[in-house]
Every structure is written in structure tokens, then in C-alpha cells.
Amino acid sequence: MDSVTGLMNGFAVALQPQNLMWAFVGTFLGTAIGVLPGIGPALTIALLLPVTVYIEPTAAFIMFAGIFYGAMYGGSTTSILLNTPGESGAMMTALEGNKMARQGRGAAALCTAAIGSFVAGTIGTLGITFLAPPIAELAFIFKPQDYFALMLLAFLSVSVVMGTSKVRGFIALFLGLSLGLVGIDKQTGLQRLTFGVPDLMDGVEMTVVLVSLFAIGETLYVASRFGLHKPNLNPLAGGIWMTKEDWKRSWKPWLRGTAFGFPIGALPAGGAEIPTFLSYTVERKLTRHPEEFGHGAIEGVAGPEAANNAAAAGVLVPLLTLGLPTSATAAILLAAFQNYGLQPGPMLFINSGDLVWGLIASLYVGNLMLLVLNLPLAGLWVRLLFIPRPYLYAGILIFSLVGIWGVSNSWVDLVMMFGVGLLGYMMRVYDFPIAPVLIGLILGPMAEIQLRRALSIGQGDPTILVSTPLSAVLMTVSVLIVLVPAALHWRRTRKIAPLPEDRSPV
Amino acid sequence: MIRTVFAAALSVSLAGLAPAFADPAVVMAPGGAGGGYDAMARLPFDAMAKEGIFTDGATFTNKGGAGGTIGLAEFVGANKGNDNAVMSMGVIMVGGILLNNSPVTLDDVTPLVRLSNDTGVIAVATDSPIKTVDDLVAALKADIGAVSISGGSAGGVDHIVMALIAKEAGLDPSKLNYIPYDSGAESVTALGGGAVTLAVSGVSEFKPMADAGRIRIIAVTSEGRFDGIDAPSLKEAGLNVVVGNWRGIVGAPGMSPEGRQMWLDRFAKMHESAAWKETLAKQGWEDAYLSGDDFVAFLGEEKTRIAAILKDVGLVK
Amino acid sequence: MTERPYWIAAGTVAWGAIVLWKAAELPQFDQYAYVGPGLMPSVVGAALVFLGLLLALQIRMGVRFEEQGAEDVNDGHDVSYRMLGLAALACALPVLTMPKLGFVITCTGCFVLVAAAFKSRRWPLDILIGLAFSLLCWWLFRKLGVQLGGLLPAMGV
């Protein structure tokens, strides 16, 4: 069965009225749970897995597709409106998105996120339909040194989110790195910085730090400086729809974000974070409005949000073609397949073609459903900001607690929520950027493990780090990223600085 | 009483178990949702409910971390003498307790049954010059560091397999170039792409890739050959190494003899049931049913063996 | 006004020192990778110490710390430590009460405290809304399978 007929049959199934209803239910539930801070797509699907046991496989998978994309999207709503990203992939969206919301452009930010998600999801699903086998091969091509070079590149390029003071940016970054070190060292089984606390053996929970730094820190900060006067800002001042200018500035970031997200998402150690970091950096470098970055640039929402969703679609590639779950979300989807006695992998398309094409078709349907559901709702979501502040912030704290306490039941995590929340407050008062903490926390352990893997395989030979074409290219780009701006800066200062003194051009 | 009603409402709404009247079981899964311990906690109760063996429902708690020892500590702390509390566990926990110096051990709980097993496989890339176990031993003897090995966590069951092989071959297990990977997916792609020389994992994770011609399995870690895999067991190949990634259920600390017998009877009935056979087939688990005192004896042997090998590897002092 | 928050620099140096001290207990080298489990912590700890000192130097030279903007913040950035204390208490409350008193009571307390920190004076109404909202969250998310615990764990409920 070739792709096109397969897909057509799939649509015939997915478009039946009752299946459309399941898609709607899935999208709705996925979005509703996905908005909770700390509860990302993996947990959402795990939570809703039992619900699907009682419906037939096709309907269940259609519902999954809705939950899958819905949960990915749900996180962006709270990131934009409340500056409380619920999972790491949505963090970059919060940086610019929340600034937009503060200017009354929340609806436009939500729209560009929704349409960007739709575009990325659709292109990603097209990729699954037609390009899955070659994309899946990437998994075999990437060696530890390639991963390391990719992560190094992500590291060096995020210096742009470090704000005005480099020293404070680096302190934030290294603070994140130090938090990332906590836990059992995977290579040797030794404990690092755990101080004998069993709950820290598996490391600092990323979502706890994320939620505490953003949501708790923000609550403390705003409470201490809250003016009794009514906020003079109308959340809807910027209209409820994107302007022509917004469209013009959004479509390229959508496509570029997708180009980062889909292939990296398909890698076993790729994930959704690296493409969102890279997308944000690239948009910031390419934009015609550099002055707006840090103050609500729409490109900074459109790009990372598309990258995030494209990465989610990318995860399905190795799952469906090779039977390899490369993320927590995929592992839970695999469990769902197994519940129905299906083994994803090379034989899946042959053995259960109808079901797989049904799933792929329902990804298109779920994605469209998400757009239909969320575009009209964008204006409604924004009205959340009309909730009186005492109740809004109290609600944020309770949702954060659902995410933190409900996931781990760990008292240590509650202590950490308080401690990191205070840190978030302090960082706001003394103008330390927050994103680098999380970038260090996420990328640090990943980069370290790939470095040590590569060196282990090479038995300590450092040249192995540039031994493949890909790693050599990525390393070169990384070095250039550091050197070129430094060289340009040096040339500029050399040209300008001597002028007033000896009055002769150099 | 309110607790019962709420818990019952929860289990009915969630898992659709039969209407609950009595106390539901308190079940700990010392791993995250969707993982092996989670499945070992929930699926037996699904099967028992389906077959009408135990229909009072169950409240599940997931508490992952540090090889399951965090869940173990919480289970032991919260359920002393509770005849209604059980926990899933497995060989990884036996090692995890030693590796993490856990203050709470399996001596603190009441072993009930072993239910499943996942045989290990040793695989190479399809174009690897290593084709047999003898080739592997020769390669290890020639230059042990040059054989990079991917597998699960340091000190986990995959590492133990390699350590036992090294020991049988007369080599120092602490010299192995063992590289832990977070997931079977990462490990198998590293092997298939040629990044590492050798990989160790469970049958269920590697068989599909081997069937697709991506990797070649050169040995299995079971006693004899494994159905559907064209490779000898390590024992057949002349190395006395038999290791399985088994999982089972233990009861609360200080469980009464009656309580223990009640659970043993339930699991015995469940083990015979069609629903459980279906579950085993779906999950790709091997039936490794071992009950009561036999399981206690087996657990004792495993503890001694694993403690010795982890010492040889240098992970436990 | 130039504030000189040397304590931040001191804190950074101190944390870096702790990381370095803990790193020193670990092997720095590995037989094959050379990069051992202690090497990264050593590097990170050293970097934090260095950055802390650099920050101290900047502070000495009178670097400015401009507060980040946020919505709803009064124009003068006047700080009310009483309100900060109330909000901080709300965030610390779960540490004290969550394991014993359970999700619903804890969250009701948090709700009332945060509302008070945002200058809401309608205590009875706040308690009522907080309780209703907490109960709703607890019931709904527990039904969906989030482990939120019992209604009142101390009483075994």
C-alpha cells in the first residue's frame, strides 16, 4: 500500500463523525491538562491512558493524536499569558510571548503560537507520511560526538538570551549547570552534590525548577510591588487577531522553527528543548526588529513554538518506523500500542497498515481541530487576565502545586519550590536573566554525558570529538559563533577608539 | 470509611474495576508511569479483576528514583503490618539497594512472588567482525578497552551480564569499557550506527531491530536457547552466565502469615488464568512464576551473587 | 541610589566553593573517558567562584541593578516587605502542611495568603473561594489520575 492510498483510507476512518468527536475530546482534554505548570505531554498522556482502554483502537489513537498535540499546545497558553511555562519546550515561548501579553498583544501571541503549531504539526505530519524512513536513519548517523557538537552549538548560541550583563548571565548559566550536576552520575553510579538526600539521587526535577523560577518567583515579585490601583493596561488593547504585519513577521519563523524541530525531534537524544533554543537564537539574529527582542517580538514566539510542535511530530518518526521510543511521551505511546497488542517497528505498517494510517490521518485531523478550537478561544483565554489579581496569582500557585506535588509527592520538591522561588524573586530584583538557569540545567547533563561517551569510545582521544563530518562542521560553526562577533567587535573598537586620540584613521 | 469510598470511586472511575465494597489494596510502583515497575504493579491487578480473583480495587502510587529504592523506603515506612499493601520490584532493585547504600532493604519486606522475566541479549552491528561468543571473548582478551559496550545503567542487569562474562573469561570486570545509556532506543541506534562495538539489553527491546536486520544478536543470557532467536545461550557457548531481568511482587513489612497466604493464593490463581497469559503475551514477558518460600530462596541467591559481582566491578566497596 | 549587594557575590562564591568541595571528593579522571565524574563539578564550581569575584568587582565599581519589569508592578517599584512576607509564607506553607493536612487544606491556606498578599481584604470570601477552588482541583485532577493524596492524611482520610 503506498502512502497516498494509505492516507486516503486513513482519512476515511478519521473523518467519521464519532471519530471526529474523539479527536475533539482528546484535543480538549490534552489542552486542559497541558496548561498545568509542571504537567507536560508525557504525563498528560500517561494520565489519560486508562481512559482509552474502553474504546476501540482506532478511536483511542485518534483521541491520542488530539491529546498529543493538545498537550503540546496547552503549555504555550500559560507561558504567554501568565509567564508560567509548564514544560521546558514552552520556556522560550514565554520570553517574548509574555512581553507581548503585557503590551495587550496576548491574543496575537496566542494566534501566532496556534497557527505556528498548526503549520509545524502539519509539516511534521507530512514528514511522517512521506519522509519517515530516511528521517529515521538520522538516529543511526548521529554518534555521541555529533550530539556533543550539537549541544555545544546550542550552548554557545544561547548567550543571546543572557540579557544586558554578561557576568550575571553567566552566573545564571553556571548556577543551572551546578543544579544539573546533582544526582547519581550515570557513567559511574557515584552520587554528586546529593548531600545524602535520597530524593536528590535522580537529580533536580527540571519542571520544579522551571515552575518555581517562573511562577513562584513572579508571584513573590509582583506581590511585593503590587499597586492598589487597577492595572491600566487592557489585555485586549492590541486586538484579538494578528495584524498583517504580524503575519509577515511570523511565517518565516514558523518554517525555520519546523526545520529545526522535526529532524532534531526525531533523534533519540534530541528532544524539544534544543530546537526551541536554536530557533529563538536564529530569529533573534535574523530579525529586522532586533530592538523588539526582549520586549515582545512576535518572531520569538512564532519560531520556538513551531519548533516545539515539530519536534513532537519528529518523535513519532522513530517510534512508528523503528519501534524506538525516543522520549518519555513516545515511551508512553509505545505502551499504548502494546495495550492493543501492536508492536511498533518496521513491521507495523505491513501488519497493521489501516491503524497506522488511521493514526497518521488523525494527526492531521487533531492538528486542525486544535486550530479550530484555539483560534476562536484565543480571545477568550486572554480574558483570563481580567481575573482580579489576588485570585489569579492564588490560582497560579495552586496549579503549580498540582504540578509539583501531584507528580512526585516529594516533600523535598516542596522545599525546593520555596527555595528556588525565592531565588527567582532575587533574580528579578537584581536583573539576572532566568532562562540561562534552565538552559544550563537541561543542556549541561546532556552535553556532559555525550562528551564522556564519545571520549570513552575513543579511549580518551580528544580528536574523536571532530572525527565525523557532522561533528567537524558543527564544531566549526560553534567556534565561529564565538570568534566572529568577537573579531567584529575588536575591529569596530579598533577603528573607532583611536580616532579621538591621534586623529588619524587606522 | 470516607477513604474507602473515595478510593473506590477513584478506582472505579479510573480502571473500571468491579464495584468495590471492601478495602482496596494499596499498591506501590517504585517507578514512573509507563515503566516496567508500573506495569508489574498494575497489570496483575487488572488480570485479577478481570478474572474475579480480587475485585476490591486498588490505589496505585508511583514513586520512582534511585533504582526503585525511594519507592521501597516509602512503602516500608508507610505500610508496616498492612496485609493489604504490596509493591512491585525486580532484580534492578536488588542491585539498586547495594549501589545506593539504601538504608531500607528487601529484608524489610515480605517476598511474595516472581512473575516475569526478560532474557538479556548481546548484540553487535551487522557488519561487525565479532560473530560468535568466542570472537567476543577473543576481542576482550586482545584489548578490553577497545570493546565499547552500551547498555542500561551502571551496575544494572546489563552491566552484570558483561561483568560475569569478563570474569568467566578470566578478565578483570572493572576494566570493561561499559557506557550506560538512558534508553534501549539510544543504545540500539548507537550499536546499529557503529558508535559502540557491543550492546546488551532485553530481548523485547532488541528483537525487533534484529529481525529488521539492523543488528545481529550473538548470544542470549537464558539457560538454553530462546524461542525465535537464532543465537546460542552464553551457557551453550561455554560461559557459565545466566542472568534474567525478573520482576515480582512483595508484601508490606510484617505482613501476617494469613495475609501472606491470602496473596499467594490470589497470585497462584491469577497465574493460571487466561487473562494473565494474555497479559504476558502482550507485554512480551516470559512467565517466571516462582512463589512463596522458593522465591525467598531465589531472592537470597540473587542478593549474594549480585553483591559479589558489583564488588568485582568496583561499584560497591 | 547605588545599591551594593555584595551578598549576592558572596553567595555565588559560597555556592561555587561548596560545589568545588563536593567535587574534590569524587574521582576527577576515568580510566577510558579521562573526564571523570568529578571534573565537571570542579569546572563549574571554579567558574562560579570566579564569576562571583567578578560580580563583586563590578559591584565595587558601582554597576547598576535595574529591576525587571513585570505587569501589575507599581510605578515607583516601592517594596512592601509585609506583602512579600505574606506571599513567601504562602509558598512555604506546603512544606509545613502538605504531608499532614493534605492538598485541600494546604491549598486553601495558600489561596488566602496569596490573596491577602495582593491586598484582598475580603477574608471570608477568600476562604470560601479558596476552599471551593482547591476542592475542585483536588477532585478533578485526582479523578484524572494525578496523585494528590487524601483529603486529610493526618486523620487517615
Q: pLDDT tens digits, residue range A389-423?
A: 889 889 889 988 888 888 778 889 999 999 999 99
What is the rounded distance in angstroms from the CA atom of residue C42 to the CA atom of residue A161?
25
Domain regions of chain A by residue span: 3-467
pTM of the prediction? Answer: 0.84
Q: Mean pLDDT lowest for which of A484-493, B129-138, B233-242, B259-268?
A: A484-493
State how far the alpha carbon of A375 is from the alpha carbons of A240, A291, A381, B307, in Å: 10, 28, 10, 59
> What's the distance, CA A250 to chain centroid?
18
pLDDT at residue C42 in the model: 95
Q: What Å distances lie between residue C9 and A95, A171, A381, C12, C68, CA to CA?
A: 26, 10, 41, 5, 19
| Chain C residues lying within 8 Å of B16, measured CB to CB | none
Give chain C positions within 8 Å (CB) of B6.
150-151
Are the folds of B2-117+246-309 and B118-220 the same? yes
* Assigned domain for C76 exists: no
Q: What pLDDT digit, counting tens, does each position of A34-80 carry?
A: 777 766 667 777 767 666 666 777 778 778 778 878 877 777 888 88
pLDDT score recorded for residue A189: 80
- Amino acid identity for residue B162 in this structure: M
What mean pLDDT is predicted for residues B266-294? 88
Among B6, B23, B26, pick the best mutation site for testing chain C contact (most C Cβ within 10 A): B6
**Percentage above 70 pLDDT, chain C:** 90
In Å, how far from its chain's centre is CA B203? 12
Q: What is the mean pLDDT of residues B204-209?
A: 83
Grid coordinates given for A482: 564565538
Alpha-carbon distance of A89 to A255, in angstroms, equals 17
pLDDT at A347: 64
Phi, psi of B198 (to 5 degrees): -145, 150
The superfamily in CATH containing domain B2-117+246-309 is Bordetella uptake gene, domain 1 (3.40.190.150)
Per the CB < 8 Å rule, is B195 touching A143? Answer: yes
Q: What is the pLDDT of residue A318?
A: 80
CB–CB contact B282 A341 (8 Å): yes
Q: Quick check: B12 pLDDT over 60?
A: no
As a whole-number percent, the residues of chain B with pLDDT over 90 amount to 40
Four-point Cα dihedral A490, A494, A496, A498, nearest 10: 150
Q: Give me Rg for the CA atoms of chain B.
A: 20
Of A339-353, B226-240, C121-135, C136-150, the least confident? A339-353
Exposure class string for B100-136: b at 16+ Cβ within 10 A, else e? bebebbbebbbbbbbbbbbbbbbbbbeebebeebeeb
The x, y and z cell numbers of residue A377, run together, are: 478561544
A-facing residues of B in 113-172 (CB < 8 A) are: 145-146, 148, 153-155
Residues A45 and A384 sit within 8 Å (Cβ to Cβ): no
pLDDT digits (tens, 9 = 90+) for C73-87: 666 667 888 999 999
Listed by start position, the domains of chain B span: 2-117+246-309, 118-220
Chain CA centroid to CA B279, Å: 16
A108 or A46, greater pLDDT: A108
The fold of the B118-220 domain, in CATH, is D-Maltodextrin-Binding Protein; domain 2 (3.40.190)
A80-89, A140-149, A204-213, C19-28, range with the lowest pLDDT: A80-89
Angstrom distances, CA of residue B134 to CA of A334, A464, B233, B234: 36, 29, 12, 10
Residue C120 lies in a domain: yes
One-letter identity of residue A456: S
Averaged pLDDT for residues B150-167: 91
Q: For residue A341, what is its C-alpha cell? A: 497488542
How far apart are alpha carbons B87 and B78 in whole angstroms?
Answer: 12
Residue B116 belongs to what H/E stretch? strand B110-125
Q: Shortest CB distance from C70 goes to which of A47, A170, A221?
A: A221
Reported as a pLDDT band with limits 50, 70 and 90, residue C23 is very high
Shared-domain flag, residues C55 and C94: no
CA A326 to chain centre: 15
3-state secondary structure of B287: strand
- Nearest by CB: A460 against C33, C73, C75: C33
**Nearest-angstrom CA–CA distance, B69 and C132:** 37
- Asked whether residue B135 carries a pLDDT value surpassing 70, the answer given is yes
Task: State mean pLDDT over B14-43.
Answer: 69
Residue in B189, B201, B283 to test binding to A, most A beta-carbons within 10 Å? B189
3-state secondary structure of B194: coil
The mean-pLDDT minimum among A74-88, A274-288, B69-83, C16-30 falls in A74-88
pLDDT at B185 exceeding the cut of 60: yes
Q: Per residue in B98-111, pLDDT tens?
A: 888 888 888 889 99
| Chains touching A (3+ CB pairs < 8 Å) | B, C
Count other C-beta atoms under 10 Å from residue A351's C-beta: 12
Instruction: Find chain C residues with C-beta within 8 A of B14's C-beta.
Output: 143, 145
DSSP secondary structure, B137-185, as one string: HHHHHH-GGGSEEEESSTTSHHHHHHHHHHHHTT--GGG-EEEE-S-HH
Q: Do B177 and C32 touch (CB under 8 A)?
A: yes
Q: What is the pLDDT of residue C107?
A: 94
* CA distance linking residue A323 with residue B205, whole number of Å: 9
- How much is the pLDDT for C75? 61
> Is residue C69 included in any domain, yes or no?
no
Strands B148-151 and B25-29: unpaired
For residue B111, give the H/E element and its range.
strand B110-125
Q: Within 13 Å, how many C-alpha atoms sit on residue A346's CB side?
A: 11
Using one digit for the tens of pLDDT, what is the confidence trace for C33-68?
A: 888 889 999 999 999 999 999 999 999 888 877 777
Q: Is the pLDDT of residue B21 over 60?
A: no
Radius of gyration of chain C from its Cα atoms, rounded to whole angstroms: 23
- pLDDT at residue A26 greater than cutoff 50: yes
Q: Cα–Cα distance between A125 and A310 in angstroms, integer? A: 9
Round the average pLDDT of chain C to a whole number and report it: 87
Q: Which three cell numbers stand for residue A247?
A: 503575519
Alpha-carbon distance C137 to nearest alpha carbon in chain A (angstroms): 8
| Per-residue pLDDT at A287 exceeds 70 | yes
How many structural domains is chain C composed of? 2
C-alpha cell at A103: 503590551
My answer on whether C27 and C93 are in the same domain is no
Range of the domain at C32: 6-60
Q: Can you give the pLDDT at residue A454? A: 93
β-strands B177-180, B110-125: how paired?
Answer: unpaired
Model confidence pLDDT, tens digit, residues A489-505: 787 776 655 444 444 44
Q: Which of residues 109-148 of C touch B (CB under 8 A)?
A: 142-143, 145, 147
DSSP A136: H
**Cα gap C91→A319, rounded to integer Å:** 40
Instruction: Quickly state the pLDDT bin for C69 (edges 50, 70, 90).
Output: low
Residue C108 domain-assigned?
yes
Asked if pLDDT for residue A349 goes beyond 70, the answer is: no
